[in-house]
Amino acid sequence: MNESRFLRVLAGESVDRPPFWFMRQAGRYLPEYQEIRKDFDNFLSFCYTPDAAAEVTLQPLRRFGMDAAILFCDILVIPDALGQEVRFVKGDGPQLEPVTEKTLESLDPGKVRKHLAPVAETIRQVRRSLPPGAALIGFAGAPWTVAAYMLEGRTSRQFSKAKHTVWQQPEMFAGLMAKIERATIDYLLMQIEAGAQAIQLFDSWCAVLPEQTFRQWVMAPARRIVAALRAKHPYVPVIGFPLRAGALAVDYARETGVQAVGIDALAPLDWVRREIQPLACVQGNLDPELLASSAAGTLAAAERLLDVLGEGPLVVNLGHGILPHTPLAHVEALAARLREVRR
């Protein structure tokens, strides 16, 4: 029997209390993260320095006792490994030289394992120091979200330029998606071989797409990635996170083969219990800005979450990543409550 309640709940077993972790739990709200971050001008160099990345992966667990650690890295290491220039500009987010028909040619999915070997080393180091009972989550961006950054060149509210490419240059878009998908599968297999015990696929920008495009470029690639991973590693669970997918989260849960689905803070809990929890474990969905605003408000929302979903398969998390201005005391209050829940 696995001693990790996080892995047990993802395997469909019942556990003494719902496990919890928080998206972006390794990050700027932690002073000990800032302390290490300041040694690096270049964010990607930080991601590629195993000692530093392993240390910040473990930091939140020491303070808050989460049931899982998430690998410290970023989804944009895939464009970097493919050969696209990626820079992180302070206060301005990531900047990439947008992919064109011409530059697409030169992107090479064959270099992933070599280029991202330091990430595998981070995973091996974290596994050696993981607290008993805690599990390590590996991750990647889902192909659409990675393609959106590669085509847009920066973060955006609507990703219009990336969307136009879907319909105006369908062959070029399909070619790009095929390269990203291949690179992502190879990268995630490498993470599992190095010791990642579960995988999360972040599709942060899936909600800018219309239904049919969502089915073709969000659900179908997720299904192929899950199948490729599970063919080689049938016991490694995959958490799909189609952020703000609304009603399409039901078909996503049913058709992609994921073991869990991440739910955002707007998803109605009674609907989630009826429509999604019978199909897959549910992960979510406290509001990150609520956590930053009010410990009491967050605790009340957590009680409701536990009341509605706590009897079924549930991983307590936020609906999206923890925000840099979140007070440590609020995180501690929530973690303390979640550690003491008993069924």
- Any bridge partners for residue 14, and if so which? none
Specify whether 113 is catalytic: no
- Tell me how far, at minimum, the Cβ of 334 lies from ligand CP3, in Å: 16
- Tell me how far, at minimum, the Cβ of 296 lies from ligand CP3, in Å: 25
Specify whether 149 is catalytic: yes
- Any bridge partners for residue 314, and if so which? 282
Specify whether 230 is catalytic: no
Residue whose CB is less far from ligand CP3, 38 or 114? 38
Interacting residue ranges for ligand CP3, rule: CB under 6 A: 23-28, 37, 43, 70, 72-76, 88, 93-94, 139, 155, 202, 204, 321
Specify whether 304 is catalytic: no
Six-digit token string for 268: 């109605």
- Any bridge partners for residue 266, and if so which? none
Q: What is the 3-state secondary structure (H, E, C) of the chain?
A: CCCCHHHHHHCCCCCCCCCECCCCCCCCCCHHHHHHHCCCCCHHHHHCCHHHHHHHHHHHHHHHCCCEEECCCCCCHHHHHHCCCEEEECCCEEEECCCCHHHHHHCCHHHHHHHCHHHHHHHHHHHHHCCCCCEEEEEEECHHHHHHHHHHCECCCCCHHHHHHHHHCHHHHHHHHHHHHHHHHHHHHHHHHHCCCEEEEEECCHHHCCHHHHHHHHHHHHHHHHHHHHHHCCCCCEEEEECCCCCHHHHHHHHCCCCEEECCCCCCHHHHHHHHCCCCEEEEEECHHHHHHCHHHHHHHHHHHHHHHCCCCEEEEECCCCCCCCCHHHHHHHHHHHHHCCC
The letter for the amino acid at 115 is: H
- Tell me how far, at minimum, the Cβ of 171 lies from ligand CP3, in Å: 26
Please tell me which residue in 37, 113, 254, 273 is annotated as part of the active site. Answer: 37
- Tell me how far, at minimum, the Cβ of 163 lies from ligand CP3, in Å: 16
Helix 170-194 and helix 143-152: axis angle, to 10°? Answer: 120
Specify whether 74 is catalytic: yes
Please tell me which residue in 28, 63, 224, 254 is annotated as part of the active site. Answer: 28
- Tell me how far, at minimum, the Cβ of 69 lies from ligand CP3, in Å: 9
- Tell me how far, at minimum, the Cβ of 321 lies from ligand CP3, in Å: 4
Residue whose CB is less far from ligand CP3, 165 or 204? 204
Please tell me which residue in 48, 149, 187, 252 is annotated as part of the active site. Answer: 149
Residue whose CB is less far from ligand CP3, 308 or 330? 330
How do 135-141 and 68-70 pair as beta strands?
parallel
Residue whose CB is less far from ligand CP3, 184 or 204? 204
In this chain, which residue has its C-beta nearest to ligand CP3? 204
Please tell me which residue in 24, 29, 203, 244 is annotated as part of the active site. Answer: 24
Please tell me which residue in 74, 80, 186, 203 is annotated as part of the active site. Answer: 74
- Tell me how far, at minimum, the Cβ of 304 lies from ligand CP3, in Å: 24
Residue whose CB is less far from ligand CP3, 18 or 27? 27
Residue whose CB is less far from ligand CP3, 23 or 189? 23
Q: From the CA atom positions of the chain, what is the Rg in Å?
A: 19
Residue whose CB is less far from ligand CP3, 20 or 72? 72
Whether the link from the prior residue into 285 is cis, omega within 30° of 0, is yes
Q: Which residues are catalytic?
A: 24, 28, 37, 74, 149
